[in-house]
Structure 1
């Protein structure tokens, strides 16, 4: 796309005829020019403005930003386009996605292309290492080492825009699979559905109703640390948001690897699977708005054991309710996050200190921002966790750490992210100063993690 004439012809395929009697706004496009009709129609539709409002300059090379601007305006006329023409606009929008973002065109505007089905996904190769150690009862807690330290995961998502308000998303994942595995079929390593939901926007797009399965439920939303459960979640959720404020309410059931384990006798990470919760969250955004500014929020969860009473698998799940608060402050190239959560235990349950509740404090400081769309972008961070016994309720945390060592610890962590090519990032993380907060037994061994992540 080297000239405005060529760009105009491409866009004309999408918008079609607009007004046969529109006036020619450009003094350098005579009425007998072969491009006259297309140029006039595009100008009348508002897709092109020319130079200084008077000249078209059809032989001048255009920049990618000018091309992206025309693509964005052509997208506004999708309802007039045929299926083939929509496909062309979608292809152009993908080509100029970075420029559209830089020009301030929200990514959601690209995704809301009526009649479009788009496949996305990611692939990850991960190395995670930890030595074995003894717990309080003298049992050996196995770490990750040798071949078992190497894992991979592939996720694929299908995003279908049904109409200007309704979007359907379906996704599958392999989950983390060890390279040491012999590939045998089992419930744990078979691919499974991690997203299956319908989103409906209304009220000027400030309201969103989402029903179905989501791949990651974050207590505290996307800005908080995500210390507790971050795995699959089947729910119905209503959210209102604008540039300054967001309110969320919902109800759902926790899953582990897509499976409801509520009828099985299991311990460990699966103890939360099948537990239900009603939840709510309030967030405020300032100093740049919801997309780029700072934020603070409070949230609450009211848990119900899978059988609705004490007994069975639910004996392993002790939480009655949880509330938390966070502050995420953007300070130039720095971001400072502080997150607090308080878990109350059900009935007369106690933790190792004979308390009926547990707290966790988390702090994280980040410099820079690595983005998949921006090669050579990077960030570095340091974090601190101080968690009492019983503060981690189970499931797979959104933290990079092993979930089995998220409870009853104090620990530091450092890491860095670097985008070495478009859509390709390298990440490295390391814990240090990790110790058991209360009780007997060895301190958990330090954790090392490095991974390549590719998005498509």
Structure 2
């Protein structure tokens, strides 16, 4: 294996043209060897290091991980390579993609290859059940998404994606039914500059999350312009965009009569002059947002972080009856060994003189905690994790109809609940996930406690 890999890498050594007169670092490579020049150039470029820093051992077979390490180092010189040389390095990167991914090269280098258009995607089949839910008759659904990723140049990447949304197996709608339409959920351009520490992203993303944490309030399609700076210790994000899905409040059917608020839970008395948080559509609502994050315990790659974030909402029309005014939150994610602990807090502020169905005035809070053991990697068969979570949400804390959580969106507000789950990669690019809630109860008011939720799904990536 070594001869083939070294021959391919040596062919790229316009990258190391300045190395022609470097000294031979290996005592077992004579100057009259046919491979002498290539070995010296590869060593001087830092792509190979030999054994014990002195011996090349040219007849020794190497492992795929050793080959992948050499490819990774060659990829670091991509900006100096010609188009033909880049194509050769890309071919090697595809061959050793799994090993490179496990070495942590995928995000920093593999996805930044130039002159490359790559199709990716995923498919999900899931089962969701909650006694009394309208979803019960159609508990099984599926979704398919396809992504085209084009690396235009060293700094610019274009991504376009389509999605089938969630289609129910029990749905007998005609093929021409609008509900069966495929839609664009990703269409964006990313531009890196400033030594790749800065990124400007413009267009549509499929999963904007309010805060880099649990994704309690929103995790759906979002059109935005976003500027981000990040290094190994710090990240700052600022952007402005428009929500494409969701409701501003958890309740969408409301009646306001003679000082009383009437919904599916019964009648609630309201103070004089109060307004009701009605189910106003979030679609079209705009927001300016910002986030600050700090990474510790080994930097960004180690996964431990602290962050704070803020969103300021503004509706398209002049009447913002009942709409949330702004939201801010903070999170902490800490890795210790095979464990990860996540804590997330959010506070939603409403317009003055706004009262929710159960009398919560002006603002509402939510606390979320999650403890995970292990790490399921969809590229690594037999990897797995298990987790437990806790949610304590005041009435009015959940403002949207869309969420990044596994739970039903209409059961995210005014609750206290626990959940458990596990993820298992049973084959490369194929994962099984299962989730179950327990101990769920209504926090305020006389409404019946929600029934528990069950979810199980298969996810396939291609």
Q: Under a length normalisation based on structure 2, what TM-score does the superposition of the two structures give?
A: 0.85
Q: Deviations over 1:32-83 (max 9, x none)?
A: 5544454444345443333344443322111112201221222234345554
Describe the shift of the 1:27–1:247 C-alpha distance in structure 2 as closer, same or farther (beyond 3 A). Answer: closer
* Contact 2:373 2:385 survives alignment (8 Å): yes
Aligned to 2:135: 144
CA contact (8 A) 1:15 1:77 kept: no
State the 1:105 CA deviation. Answer: 3.4
Q: Judging changes above 3 Å, is the alpha-carbon distance between structure 1 residues 414 and 86 closer, same or farther for their aligned structure 2 residues?
A: same
Of 392, 410, 413 in structure 1, the residue corresponding to residue 416 of structure 2 is 410
Gap change, CA 1:269 and 1:332, over 3 Å in 2 = farther
The CA deviation at 1:288 is 2.3
The answer on 1:167 being equivalent to 2:167 is no
Aligned to 1:389: 395
Q: How far apart are 1:397 and its partner, in Å?
A: 0.5
**Structure-to-structure mapping, 1:74-85, within 5 angstroms:** 74-79=74-79, 81=81, 83-85=83-85
Give the match's secondary structure for 1:212: strand
Is contact 1:166–1:201 with CA below 8 Å preserved after alignment? yes
Q: Indicate the residue corresponding to 1:50 in structure 2.
A: 50
1:93 is matched with 93
| Superposition deviation, residue 388 in structure 1 | 1.8
Instruction: For structure 1, list consecutive stretches of 5 or more residues without a partner in the other structure.
Output: 133-141
Compute the displacement of 1:88 (Å): 3.3
Equivalent residue of 2:390, what SS?
A: strand
Contact 2:401 2:410 (C-alpha < 8 Å) held by counterparts = no
Q: Distance in 2 between matches of 1:435 and 1:235?
A: 37
Instruction: Give the match's secondary structure for 2:72.
Output: helix
Q: Hey, what does 2:269 align to over in structure 1?
A: none
Deviation of 1:251 (Å): 0.8
The answer on 1:301 being equivalent to 2:291 is no
Which deviates more, 16-25 or 155-164? 16-25
Could you say what secondary structure the match of 2:114 adopts?
coil
Q: Which moved more, 1:231-240 or 1:73-82?
A: 73-82
Pick the aligned partner of 2:241 from 252, 265, 275: 252
| Alpha-carbon shift at residue 202 of structure 1 (Å) | 2.0
Aligned-residue offset at 1:29: 4.2
Q: 1:287 to 1:178 in 2, by over 3 A?
A: same
Q: Is the 8 A contact 2:200 2:225 kept in 1?
A: yes
Structure 2 CA distance for aligned equivalents of residues 269 and 89 of structure 1: 54
Are 1:430 and 2:429 matched, yes or no? Answer: no
Structure-1 separation of matches of 2:218 and 2:401: 5
Distance across 2 between alignment mates of 1:349 and 1:94? 56
**Superposed CA offset, 1:210-236 (max 9, x none):** 111111111112xx1110011111111
Say which of 202, 209, 215 aligns to 2:200. 209
CA distance in structure 1 between the aligned counterparts of 2:368 and 2:37, rounded to whole angstroms: 63
Q: Distance in 2 between matches of 1:28 and 1:330?
A: 45
Is the Cα contact below 8 Å between 2:419 and 2:437 reproduced in 1?
A: yes
CA distance in structure 2 between the partners assigned to 1:244 and 1:43 by the alignment:
31
* 1:237 corresponds to 2:226: yes
Deviation at 1:439, TM superposition (A): 2.8
Give the equivalent residue in structure 2 for 1:439: 445
1:143 Cα offset (Å): 2.9
Residue 111 in structure 1 maps to residue 111 in structure 2: yes
> Any conservation in 2 of the 1:328–1:336 contact (CA below 8 Å)?
yes
More strand as a share of residues: 2
Distance 1:330 1:90, change over 3 A: same
SS of the residue 2:354 aligns to: coil
| 1:153-195 deviation per Cα after TM superposition (whole angstroms, max 9, x unaligned) | 1112222222222222211111111111236234433221111
- For the 8 Å contact 1:304–1:320, the answer to whether it is kept is yes
Contact 2:79 2:154 in 1 (8 A): no
Contact 1:352 1:438 (C-alpha < 8 Å) held by counterparts: no
Q: Which one of the candidate residues 11, 14, 19 is aligned to 1:13?
A: 11
Partner of 1:136: none
Aligned length: 431
Query: 2:76, 2:109 within 8 Å by CA — same for their partners in 1?
Result: no
**Structure 2 unpaired stretches of 5+:** 254-277
TM-score, scaled to structure 1: 0.86
Answering whether residue 286 of structure 2 is matched by residue 276 of structure 1, we say yes
Work out whether residues 50 and 57 of structure 2, in 8 Å CA contact, stay in contact via their aligned partners in 1: yes
Q: Does 1:292 align with 2:298?
A: no
Q: Does 1:335 align with 2:340?
A: yes
Q: Distance in 2 between matches of 1:441 and 1:270?
A: 22
CA distance in 1, matches of 2:60, 2:443: 68
State the distance in 1 between where 2:301 and 2:81 align. Answer: 31
Match of 1:135 in 2: none
- CA distance 1:390–1:64, change in 2 (3 Å): same
Specify whether residues 349 and 377 from structure 1 end up closer, same or farther in structure 2 by C-alpha distance, changes over 3 A only. same
Contact in 2 for aligned 1:286/1:295 (Cα 8 Å): yes
Deviation at residue 277 of structure 1 after TM alignment: 0.5
C-alpha contact (below 8 Å) 2:353/2:362 kept by paired residues:
yes
